[in-house]
Amino acid sequence: MNSSSPPDRVLILDFGSQVTQLIARRVRESGVYCEIWPFNAEPARIAGFGARGFILSGGPASVTDTAAPRAPDIVFNAGVPVLGICYGQQTMCAQLGGTVEGSDQREFGRAYVEIADECRLFHGVWHKGAREPVWMSHGDRVTRLPPGFRVVAISEGAPFAAIADDARGFYGLQFHPEVVHTPHGAALLRNFTHDVAGCRGEWTMATFRQAEIARIRAQVGGGRVVCGLSGGVDSAVAAMLVHEAIGDQLTCIFVDHGLLRAGEAEDVVTTFRDRFNLRLVHRDASDLFLTALEGVEDPEAKRKTIGRLFIDVFEEEAAAIGGADFLAQGTLYPDVIESVSATGGPSVTIKSHHNVGGLPERMRMRLVEPLRELFKDEVRALGRELGLPDTILGRHPFPGPGLAIRIPGAISREKLEMLRRVDTIFLEEIRAAGLYEAIWQAFAVLLPVRSVGVMGDGRTYDHACALRAVTSTDGMTAEAFAFDMGFLSRVAGRIVNEVRGVNRVTYDITSKPPGTIEWE
């Protein structure tokens, strides 16, 4: 967090685990600010962060390999507590004088640990003699402890499932406390951050809001800022926060590409221009986009076309208001993490349209990214702090390219209208059943197939559509929502009866694998 007197903070060094972000989420949920940096971050940068503790994540590598990644020595020499998780435990042991070996007795999935002794990490959570469920994912295992450590938990496949050096505040867990499959894992992490590392847990959205407003004012000064407002949660909260900081120095540009859900363009204008009095430019460019997309079938070609045109239109509107010095965008912390991990540096993209196009050099604007330290749930919490309505904050995620990627194959105005009507019916029934908030994302897809059917006394040859609804806590993994058959029958009946051109409805029960953010 950017502040002259930042709250207590923890640094997470990432060794490549697909669930490293969950560590940060659990830590922040307990009111402690943290960041995720790559394991090979420069020692001077690590020292400058001022961490009260370090967490070493899991990862896919083997400590036994010659080129295995290692934690920087400063982590163990800084005089602050360290928690190693899975690979993090293994590299900590190997670097401090212990031994790690490959094992034929691997553990993947649910396992149980026997609590062999008390330690500060377990205080008030686990007790000696208890048997606790955890989530394991390892092949290698520690076979000899470094000096100063003792074993505090064992499992069938890991004789050192948890280790402790209370004197230095060094702890190692072979299992993953950050995942929900380890029931008391969040409490263990809280013990580390609060009791072992001494963090006060004072990081809140109210303190973030105050500090970020001050940072925006200091960065922008008297400059002018433009923001690509899409109506989604990220761009909406970013716009509101920047507006609170600098008022009418901000102009929001809403590019309507004609690929939005029914009534969405009108909602954006009414909410932000009329209700919140933001300076808003609304450009209806639907004809331009739909003409350019005629006959385009490849999904990546669609994205690139939309991205190119979005930037062109955005640039035209920015020039029409006299230009700007800064571009505000709703980059989130997962974007930052992925960008740094993949390329070693920040991505420069117009986030409000989900990275469909890069920011061209000719625009010559500096970035204002007020949300780049936040996860999605934190953005919603900040939005509530700023007074945004639940109709905006609770809206299901919607991809920047919009309905274009929910119509596989060529797009037409007729198909878009059919899909909007199907989507509207689906969401109406979900809301009527009181299920909207229980579902992370629900949407319809107009399939690139046509089906023969009989409706009344006539034979039809019309489109088929698919419905999808998933649950998720973090957007990283998802499972299909279990509608009852009565609900699905009711929705299918309405769609077939009310949407001319659609005669078949299917429900997609595919779950989402871990490791990706978007669900499109």
Identify the structural domains of the chain with CATH numbers, from first to last.
9-196 (3.40.50.880), 205-393 (3.40.50.620), 412-508 (3.30.300.10)
Those residues whose C-beta lies under 8 Å from the C-beta of residue 189, and which sit 6 or more positions away, are: 23, 26, 27, 30, 83, 177, 178
Q: Six-digit token pair at 386?
A: 């700023």
Q: What is the pLDDT of residue 358?
A: 46
Pair 174, 103: CB distance under 8 Å: no
Q: What is the pLDDT of residue 449?
A: 87
Question: What pTM value is reported for the model?
Answer: 0.80
Dump pLDDT digits (tens) for 321-377. 999 999 999 888 877 776 655 334 333 444 434 443 445 566 678 999 999 989 888
CA distances (Å), origin 122, targets 113, 119, 229, 270, 368: 13, 5, 46, 52, 42
The low-confidence residues of the chain, meaning pLDDT below 50, are: 1-4, 342-358, 513-520
> What ranges in 270-399 are assigned the alpha helix state H?
286-292, 299-320, 333-343, 376-386, 390-393
**H or E element that contains 141:** strand 141-144
Q: What is the pLDDT of residue 153?
A: 94
Q: What angle do CA 294, 295, 297 make, to 5 degrees?
A: 120
Pair 419, 407: CB distance under 8 Å: yes
| Helices 205-220 and 233-246, packing angle to 10 deg | 60
Pair 146, 94: CB distance under 8 Å: no
β-bridge partners, 327: 226, 367
Give catalytic residue positions. Answer: 86, 176, 178
Q: What is the pLDDT of residue 239?
A: 96
Q: For residues 298 and 349, give the distance between their C-alpha atoms in angstroms, rounded to a whole number.
A: 22
The 10 Å Cβ neighbour count of residue 422 is 28
Residue 4's Cβ-count burial label (10 Å; 0-12, 13-18, 19+) is exposed
Dump pLDDT digits (tens) for 171-194. 999 999 998 889 999 999 999 999
Helices and strands counted in the chain (H then E): 15, 20
CA distances (Å), origin 249, targets 222, 244, 367: 8, 10, 15
